[in-house]
């Protein structure tokens, strides 16, 4: 059972003259994540707020201290949060995003190692990874990189001892109790088990990033043939 959401206020700490951190809990849970997504969404429209960074248990609020009074902004944040019923957070429209994945050694060079480490067949790994419904707890590391949790206990595995210098775009990976898709070519230390043909970020589109904090995400196994038909690329390793 996840920790109950406090109906009242999160802790509020100034971190600099134009940013404050709201701490909703000391532990990670879906309920807390719902509440943070709800508050973050509503704060977007508050005058004077420049940027919001929601994460697992916190929300960083950056404001325009040059044109707005710090105390007035903090007060407005508190008042807005007090008005938001945590019960509504749980009923908020949750988007479910399906990401097609070609699981295979040629695009997922760690698939066999993961299977061996977990004492499963590669088919079991694929089945377990794609059977679960994940939640986007935080976005970061690189633009559009969503930290998705939690993977089934049987799939828990550490990061690679030596990170790869270049992880190909679209790589689907796992580490600890999390999974993610690499939206761009970056260095990375997660265990790569497959690849999606779809784009995670597109600065020309209206949504910019496919996955937002609070979204639900499911992976759908597709064949090599379908992967290629959907524009998938096998290069990169």
Partner 1 sequence: MAFKVIKPGMLALLQDLGRHGHQAIGVTTGGPMDELAFRWANALLDNDDNAQQLEITFGMLSLEAQANTSVALTGADLDASLNGKSLTPWQTYAVKKGDVLSFQQPVWGLRAYLAVKGGFQCEPTLGSIATVMREKIGGLTGKGDKLHKDDILPFQAYDQHQQRSVPRAAIPDYSQSDIPLVLGYQYRSFSDLQRAHFFSSDYKVSQNSDRMGYRLEGNAIQGDAKGIISEGIAYGSVQIPKDGQPIVLLRDRQTIGGYPKMGCVTRFGGALLAQKKPGDAIQFTPITVDQAEHERHLQMARLQQWR
| Interface pick for partner 1 out of 5, 52, 115, 193 (rule CB under 8 A) | 52
CA-closest candidate to residue 42, choices 82, 3, 1, 12: 82
Please report whether residue 15 would count as binding partner 1 according to CB under 8 A: yes
Supply the minimum distance, in Å, between the C-beta of residue 167 and partner 1: 15
CA-closest candidate to residue 194, choices 212, 174, 213, 171: 171
Q: Select from 62-70, 127-135, 154-162, 220-228 the region that touches partner 1 (CB under 8 A).
A: 62-70
Comparison of 45 and 87: residue with beta carbon closer to partner 1: 45
Comparison of 28 and 31: residue with beta carbon closer to partner 1: 28
111-118 vs 122-131: helix crossing angle, rounded to 10 = 90
Between CA 23 and CA 5 the distance in angstroms is 12
In angstroms, what CA-CA distances link 52 with 4, 46, 187, 197, 213? 24, 11, 26, 30, 11
Between CA 143 and CA 137 the distance in angstroms is 15
Number of residues that bind partner 1 (CB under 8 A): 40
Between CA 162 and CA 221 the distance in angstroms is 28
Give the footprint of partner 1 on residues 138-167 (CB under 8 A): 138-145, 147
Q: State the SS3 of 37-50.
A: HHHHHHHCCCCCEE
Comparison of 74 and 105: residue with beta carbon closer to partner 1: 74
Comparison of 114 and 217: residue with beta carbon closer to partner 1: 217
Please report whether residue 96 would count as binding partner 1 according to CB under 8 A: no
Please report whether residue 66 would count as binding partner 1 according to CB under 8 A: yes
What residues line the site for partner 1 (CB under 8 A)?
Answer: 13-17, 19, 21, 28, 40, 50-60, 62, 65-66, 70, 138-145, 147, 184, 201, 203, 208-209, 212-213
């Amino acid at each position: 059972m996840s920790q109950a959401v406090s109906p009242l206020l999160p802790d509020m700490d100034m971190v600099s003259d134009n940013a404050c951190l709201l701490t909703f809990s000391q532990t990670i849970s879906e309920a807390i994540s719902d509440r943070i997504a709800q508050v973050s969404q509503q704060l977007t429209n508050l005058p004077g707020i420049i940027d919001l960074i929601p994460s697992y248990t916190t929300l960083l609020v950056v404001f325009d201290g040059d044109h707005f009074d710090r105390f007035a902004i903090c007060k407005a944040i508190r008042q807005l949060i007090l008005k938001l019923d945590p019960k509504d957070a749980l009923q908020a429209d949750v988007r479910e995003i399906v990401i097609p994945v070609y699981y295979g050694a040629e695009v997922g060079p760690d698939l066999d190692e993961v299977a061996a480490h977990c004492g499963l067949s590669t088919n079991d790994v694929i089945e377990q990874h794609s059977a679960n419904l994940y939640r986007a707890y935080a976005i970061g590391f690189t633009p559009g990189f969503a930290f998705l949790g939690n993977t089934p206990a049987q799939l828990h595995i550490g990061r690679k001892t030596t990170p790869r210098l270049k992880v190909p775009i679209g790589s689907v990976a796992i580490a600890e109790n999390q999974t993610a898709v690499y939206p761009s070519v970056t260095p990375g230390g997660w265990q790569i088990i497959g690849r999606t043909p779809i784009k995670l970020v597109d600065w020309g589109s209206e949504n910019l990033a496919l996955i937002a904090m609070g979204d639900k995400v499911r992976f759908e196994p597709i064949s090599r043939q379908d992967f290629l038909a959907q524009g998938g690329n096998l290069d990169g390793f």
